[in-house]
């Protein structure tokens, strides 16, 4: 399979810095902000974004992980998924602005599952969505608030996000 690189390491860093600034602007600061990543790479991105926002705003921003496995609508098709730990920051999510973070937005089904999972944990004041790659092909009416890069792709193509912490390399490729 032939893979073409659409984002290099520096491009990913720029996209995350831009998203961090957009989140701060949208939230009018870092107060009551919680970033929750969807495993696996969404968690890494949430931690990176929280660190960037904390650095820019000079105030701590919490991040965690939100496992959506048991809330997915495709468990019958893919029953071998193993749950990841959900890690909600100590202050919880009630009354907070929660930014869900994921690496690739495709059909929207993972985000729908994340909204269901979030509802089972608490009641945030606002829920936003930050995505590194939006590749289109939505099956549900879900739209990200913060996008690193729109990458039109065919349904048959695969978008691969690689992050240093998870993969030892950084970048985004598309495979035919």
The dihedral region occupied by 63, where left means phi > 0, alpha psi between -120 and 50, and beta the remainder, is beta
* Domains by residue range for the chain, with CATH: 3-70+91-175 (3.40.50.2020)
What kind and span of H or E run contains 52? helix 41-57
Query: What mean pLDDT do residues 125-138 have?
Result: 97
Over the stretch 71-110, which tens digit does the pLDDT of each residue have? 877 766 766 667 788 999 999 999 999 999 999 999 999 9
Q: How confident is the model at residue 47 (pLDDT cuts 50, 70, 90)?
A: very high
Task: Give yes or no for a contact between 95 and 125, defined as CB atoms under 8 angstroms apart.
Answer: yes
Instruction: Please tell me the pTM assigned to this model.
Output: 0.94
In this prediction, residue 74 carries a pLDDT of 72
pLDDT of residue 2 exceeding 90 = no
Over the stretch 133-152, which tens digit does the pLDDT of each residue have? 999 999 999 999 999 999 99
In this prediction, residue 46 carries a pLDDT of 98
User: Omega before 40 cis (within 30°)?
Assistant: yes
What kind and span of H or E run contains 54? helix 41-57
Average pLDDT, the chain: 94
In this prediction, residue 1 carries a pLDDT of 63
């Amino acid at each position: 399979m032939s893979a073409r690189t659409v984002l290099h390491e520096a491009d990913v860093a720029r996209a995350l810095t831009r998203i961090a600034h957009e989140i701060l602007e949208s939230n009018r600061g870092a107060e009551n902000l919680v970033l929750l990543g969807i495993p696996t790479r969404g968690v890494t991105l949430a931690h990176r974004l929280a660190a960037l926002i904390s650095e820019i705003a000079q105030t701590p921003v919490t991040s965690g992980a939100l496992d959506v496995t048991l809330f997915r609508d495709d468990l019958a098709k893919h029953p071998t998924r193993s749950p990841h730990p959900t890690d909600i920051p100590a202050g919880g999510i009630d009354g907070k602005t929660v930014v869900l973070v994921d690496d690739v937005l495709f059909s929207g089904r993972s985000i729908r599952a994340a909204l269901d999972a979030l509802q089972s944990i608490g009641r945030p004041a606002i829920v936003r969505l930050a995505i590194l790659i939006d590749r289109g092909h939505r099956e549900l009416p879900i739209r990200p608030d913060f996008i690193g890069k729109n990458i039109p792709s065919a349904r048959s193509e695969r978008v691969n996000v690689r992050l240093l912490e998870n993969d030892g390399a950084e970048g985004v490729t598309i495979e035919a």
